[in-house]
Structure 1
Amino acid sequence: MRTKDTPVTWGEWSKEWQAHRDIAASTKLTDEQRIDLHVMPRWGKTALSDITRADVKRWVAELKANHKPTTVNRIVGLLNTSLREAVDHELIHVNPAQGVRLKTGEVTHERFLTKAEVDRVCAHLSPQWAKLTYLLAYTGLRWGEAAGLQPHRFDRKRGVILVAEVWDEKNGQLLDYPKGKKRRTVPVPKWLHESIGGTDPVILSPRGERPRSRSLRRALDDAAVAAKVEPFRIHDLRHSFASWLIQGGVPVEEVRRLLGHTSIQTTQRYAHLAEVPNEDVLNALL
């Protein structure tokens, strides 16, 4: 039995930390698997006060031998988050895992499609996939928000969608809040109204079922090739929506609200798209 003066092990602290984490069910499942497989075996019996930065770095080197840098960073990120919370609970004074990461060598590539490219791709999709693609591109909904969109959330009179549920594809569950846990309304172009039906969800797959991201992704890949458009991800349709708004002069704060970003810093990555060279600069290049 642990007394007041007995050091708390990471395994003991982990149970309390995990029990109070406020995260999506799919994230929780993935994190638990990584913790059970990688973190608990190494740190479960180690006292929080005995975890040193040197030990963490050695562990990272061991993980690197069998896993990609991005995977290592996700695993180490769990230890880092748990220890940061331990500091906040005054169980330890400093977080020895803070800032310990591997360079991934990956370059983030955000693809911005033009409206003409979306039209060309949709011309090579089945009617149902085209409807869903247009919905994603012209509302900026996340995949889970679109796949979980309930018919009563579309106000046809006002022409807006209330984003209030999210489909968790991994666990097959409809969650009653979007990412960030803040409901928001998103306007829908009038020409899209007829695409939104009374089914659950409002746009079904070509087979009349709830759409699956993998199936749409395959359809988009084939359509992009046929349309001679550079391949793109489903999430790039959301990036494209943001880019169209910014280039159209919509304030960044309004774009943040429409996208459901909790932080304006996340939306600021699109700000450069509004920086159009003025006429004097262009004339100087002639």
Structure 2
Amino acid sequence: MQTVFVDGDDLSQWERALSVPTQAVFFETPSNPMQSLVDIAAVTELAHAAGAKVVLDNVFATPLLQQGFPLGVDVVVYSGTKHIDGQGRVLGGAILGDREYIDGPVQKLMRHTGPAMSAFNAWVLLKGLETLAIRVQHSNASAQRIAEFLNGHPSVRWVRYPYLPSHPQYDLAKRQMSGGGTVVTFALDCPEDVAKQRAFEVLDKMRLIDISNNLGDAKSLVTHPATTTHRAMGPEGRAAIGLGDGVVRISVGLEDTDDLIADIDRALS
């Protein structure tokens, strides 16, 4: 099997990669942590013309803010540990597709590998689904306000949040998403040689927001992607996507928005 990587927000790269017969296309949008977007409808059209199935990782957007199937996607995947559970209690995931796909390759994989979820974990995820909408609505609204606050902060170089007009793909976000999501990414305005130390200081000063690389939780969480989720990419790989040592990612939870902004402001001061 040959695998080809493309810049998800560059349609010309998709066109070149899909100029030959292809089995499958996999992407997440918005991306973690840089919040780059893939034009779902455009890429799906190209992929289907090349004979490929399209798999969308929709964790960041959640099914409340972005739906892949109306845009032509064949398979949608979720980490149930994130927004679906929403309280960091269980490990799990979900694969959504048509009956032929689920009864075919998915069931075959399950028989051979045995990824059977416990009854209790399944129950926890079902209970999480009951409150998913109200949780995402609150966190999405808070994230929007936090992104706007950070966008004007003197200690912040840039903010990446799909529903900020300053986002380079803002128009695309408005077309395929009904909200910017629950995650805000920003870069500290400081020299790169001290950026990691400065980022660690900011994280350590937060009191209401906890340090963790999880997201989609009822608790607001902050992480330093360069030394956690994206450490394995190496300096060159991180530089290629603009992920410097001063980049910080916040997953916005259910706390009072004003309290969260005050905590962030205090940490940045």
User: Would the TM-score normalized by the shorter structure come out above 0.5?
Assistant: no
Instruction: Please give the TM-score of this superposition, normalised by the length of structure 2.
Output: 0.23
Of structures 1 and 2, the larger Rg is shown by: 1
Q: Which has the higher helix share?
A: 1
Q: Which has the higher strand share?
A: 2
